């Protein structure tokens, strides 16, 4: 099936509509269940292969992603030719793509942080921020909270939205699911510390590979949609290579560049201060820049949807 088609465009619009209306379910969230299962798989494989953690991590990754791999290989078989089966398969594909999206939830969390900052409730803003970042938020001031939130918005726009849309467009729902699950495992296992440096190596590398092209297409979209696109391009060339994340660094540097701001100098991760290279140009980001960041991501989404529909009609 050609997912870059009129049917694929309809499925994409329906999935985005579901994400907007329903967002993340408060109970029985599929990714929460996936994460709990991943914890059990990690525990068992650490027990069995404690001296070979990289091998254990590779086996754990393969086990956790096997349903998506099976779905990818079997989709042409389960896709029938009758109109009824076509509708059922279309609904299934839509639900799977919706499962991969976290755009509405991301906007919701950013909105909570903005509201808390507006109310001068720094403790509440720190608490909301801690739900979407891995750094210690307990000592951040208002501007530092805004900078960390803007970083998360830019970076997670790829993980929670654009990468899923990209893989759905080029390879279907199984590919989108494969990316979303690998990204979840990277968030759980991809730390460069003593516990996960070896075990999480495979998950981190796979997530880097799957997000490589979507991240760069997102960054190019940032450049095309803002007047400071040349600044964003310069930040990409001069700053992104110094960032720890090969994909997140590109998106954050370009996003900050086109917005005309700079992001945080560093943060406390697992009780260790980790400085960050320059990301962006201009004054340090503030609370007012969060709304500008949301509009930037929204405009890129509109652009991608318009291009998808145009290609489908063509």
Count Cβ atoms below 10 Å from residue 133 Cβ, excluding itself. 19
Nearest to 153 by CA among 292, 25, 307: 292
Q: Which phi and psi angles does 103 have, rounded to 5°? A: -65, -50
**Would you state the pLDDT for residue 311?**
85
C-alpha 234/C-alpha 21 separation (Å) is: 38
Contact assessment for residue 231 and residue 261, using Cβ atoms and an 8 Å cutoff = no
Please give the structure tokens belonging to residue 183.
Answer: 């990204």
**Would you state the pLDDT for residue 50?**
83
Would the pLDDT of 176 be above 70? yes
**Would you state the pLDDT for residue 135?**
87
8-19 as b/e, with b when 16 or more CB fall inside 10 Å? Answer: bbebbebbbebb
Bridge partners for 269 per DSSP: 272
List, for residues 203-256, the tens digit of each pLDDT value. Answer: 999 999 999 999 999 999 999 999 999 999 999 999 999 998 999 999 999 999
Sign of CA dihedral 311, 100, 186, 245: positive
1 within some domain? no
Contact assessment for residue 276 and residue 259, using Cβ atoms and an 8 Å cutoff = no
| Average pLDDT over all residues of the chain | 90
Q: Return the top range by mean pLDDT from 14-23, 154-163, 183-192.
A: 154-163
C-alpha 153/C-alpha 180 separation (Å) is: 17
Sign of CA dihedral 198, 200, 203, 206: negative
List, for residues 156-167, the tens digit of each pLDDT value. Answer: 999 999 999 999
Contact assessment for residue 222 and residue 300, using Cβ atoms and an 8 Å cutoff = yes
- Domain housing 101: 6-313
Sign of CA dihedral 30, 134, 152, 186: negative
**Would you state the pLDDT for residue 27?**
63
Please give the structure tokens belonging to residue 152.
Answer: 């998360």
**Would you state the pLDDT for residue 97?**
94
Element (DSSP H or E) covering residue 188: helix 173-189
Query: Residue 105: is it exposed, middle or buried by C-beta count within 10 angstroms (0-12/13-18/19+)?
Result: middle
215 within some domain? yes
94 within some domain? yes
pTM above 0.85, yes or no: yes
pLDDT tier at 61, thresholds 50, 70, 90 = very high
**Would you state the pLDDT for residue 214?**
97
Q: Taking residues 102-129, what's their average pLDDT?
A: 95
Please give the structure tokens belonging to residue 43.
Answer: 């525990």
List, for residues 32-48, the tens digit of each pLDDT value. Answer: 888 899 999 999 999 99
List, for residues 62-112, the tens digit of each pLDDT value. Answer: 999 998 888 877 766 666 555 557 788 888 899 999 999 999 999 999 999
CA distances from 192 to 171, 182, 199 (A): 31, 17, 10
Counted domains in the chain = 1
Contact assessment for residue 184 and residue 35, using Cβ atoms and an 8 Å cutoff = yes
Q: Taking residues 275-303, what's their average pLDDT?
A: 95
84: region left, alpha or beta (phi > 0 left; psi from -120 to 50 alpha): alpha
């Amino acid at each position: 099936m050609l997912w870059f088609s009129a049917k694929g465009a309809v499925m994409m619009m329906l999935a985005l509509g579901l994400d907007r209306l329903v967002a993340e379910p408060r109970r029985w969230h599929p990714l929460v269940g996936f994460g709990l299962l991943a914890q059990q798989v990690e525990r068992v494989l650490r027990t069995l292969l404690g001296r070979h953690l990289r091998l254990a991590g590779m086996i754990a990754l393969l086990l956790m992603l096997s349903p998506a791999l099976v779905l990818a290989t079997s989709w042409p078989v389960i896709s029938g030719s009758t109109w009824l089966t076509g509708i059922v398969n279309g609904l299934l594909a839509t639900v799977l793509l919706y499962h991969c999206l976290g755009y509405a939830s991301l906007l919701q969390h950013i909105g909570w942080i903005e509201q808390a900052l507006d109310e001068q409730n720094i403790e509440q803003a720190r608490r909301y921020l801690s739900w979407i970042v891995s750094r210690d938020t307990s000592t951040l001031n208002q501007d530092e909270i805004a900078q960390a939130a803007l970083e998360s918005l830019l970076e997670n726009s790829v993980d929670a939205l654009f990468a899923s849309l990209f893989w759905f467009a080029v390879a279907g729902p199984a590919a989108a699911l494969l990316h979303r699950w690998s990204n979840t495992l990277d968030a759980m296992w991809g730390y460069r510390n003593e516990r996960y440096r070896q075990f999480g190596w495979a998950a981190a590398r796979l997530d880097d590979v799957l997000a490589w092209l979507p991240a760069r297409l997102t960054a190019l979209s940032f450049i095309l949609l803002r007047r400071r696109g040349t600044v964003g391009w310069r930040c990409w060339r001069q700053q992104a290579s110094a960032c720890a994340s090969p994909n997140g660094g590109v998106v954050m540097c370009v996003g900050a560049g086109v917005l005309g701001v700079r992001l945080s100098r560093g943060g406390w991760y697992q009780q260790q201060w980790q400085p960050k290279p320059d990301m962006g140009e201009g004054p340090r980001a503030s609370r007012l820049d969060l709304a500008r960041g949301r509009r930037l991501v929204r405009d890129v989404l509109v652009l991608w949807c318009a291009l998808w529909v145009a290609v489908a009609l063509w």
